[in-house]
Amino acid sequence: MISRERLKLVRSLHQKKYRLLHKLFIAEGDKICREYLDSGLQPEGIFALKEWYSGNRGVVNIHSKISNEVTIREMEKMSALSEPSPVLLLIRIPQREFDYLFLRNSHTLVLDQITDPGNLGTIIRTADWFGIKNLICSDDCVDLYNPKVVQASMGSMIRVRVFYFNLVSFLTGLNKMVGKPIVYGSDLTGSDILKVAFPETTLVILGNESNGIRKDIYPFINDRVTITGKGGAQSLNVASAAAVICHALNRQKPLQP
């Protein structure tokens, strides 16, 4: 059994305002939680069913002071999933400082007003697969620590740094860089992405699921690229488009160790 106050705290973190207040977020699911724990991260709390602890004695030994055995009923109250997981972590939100130097000699995705948490989480996981280390989000993208984003990212948030900005201010700031990136926009009117020779320092902007890239962003774009198709669908899902773009970028820049 856990205290009513502790249970209330965990449940409150499903809302952004309480995540900001407490500077905590939730990760749940056996695979995701194992990934966080194996990374060496020190969680603020571990909440798990007796059966999970029975198979993970090492976790209990290392984190005995923050380990909490809970009942299935308590887990149902804490979980954001339709089927509660056997384990849930309480994690401190990291404070990361951005430096434009992060963008040098690398490929970076810039996301403009992505509102679906599943899409953002999948894009983070895809970026991780292709070795992309940094994502830039507009300040009106869905919250990085939304439980559905955390779930869809499957632990890749450990390796991919995500920063939020007003994109006009961020893109204006590129002018201060020595060897600033070439900025591409994903657009239906662009050049075939598989035929573009991307420079070593590249930004690719992907727009909102319904409306694409906002008009005030286009003045910062050096060139437009598109993913050519043969079927009748009007467009690709933004997470699917991100996967194709990452593949195109990766064809010219091998995965980093």
Question: Who contacts 244 (Cβ-Cβ below 8 Å, separation ≥6)?
Answer: 193, 227, 236
Mind listing the pLDDT tens digit for each residue in 45-57?
999 999 999 998 8
Fold match between 4-92 and 100-250?
Answer: no
Query: What mean pLDDT is predicted for residues 144-154?
Result: 96
Lowest-pLDDT range, 21-35, 99-113, 160-174, 222-236? 222-236
pLDDT of residue 95 exceeding 80:
yes
Query: What mean pLDDT is predicted for residues 205-219?
Result: 93
Among residues 148, 157, 139, the alpha carbon closest in space to that of 117 is found at 148
Q: Which CATH superfamily is domain 4-92 in?
A: Ribosomal protein L30/S12 (3.30.1330.30)
Mind listing the pLDDT tens digit for each residue in 7-37?
999 999 999 999 999 999 999 999 999 999 9
Tokens in use for 139? 């300040």
Specify the pLDDT at position 254: 46
Helix ranges (H only) for the chain are 4-12, 16-22, 30-38, 50-54, 57-62, 72-78, 117-129, 147-153, 167-173, 238-250
Tokens in use for 5? 């106050």
Specify the pLDDT at position 257: 41
Tokens in use for 134? 């940094």
Question: Who contacts 100 (Cβ-Cβ below 8 Å, separation ≥6)?
Answer: 173, 174, 176, 177
Domain edges within the chain: 4-92, 100-250
pLDDT of residue 1 exceeding 70:
no
Q: What top-level class would CATH report for the domain 100-250?
A: alpha beta
- Round to the nearest angstrom and report the end-to-end CA distance of the chain: 44
Q: How many Cα atoms within 13 Å fall on the side-chain side of residue 127?
A: 30
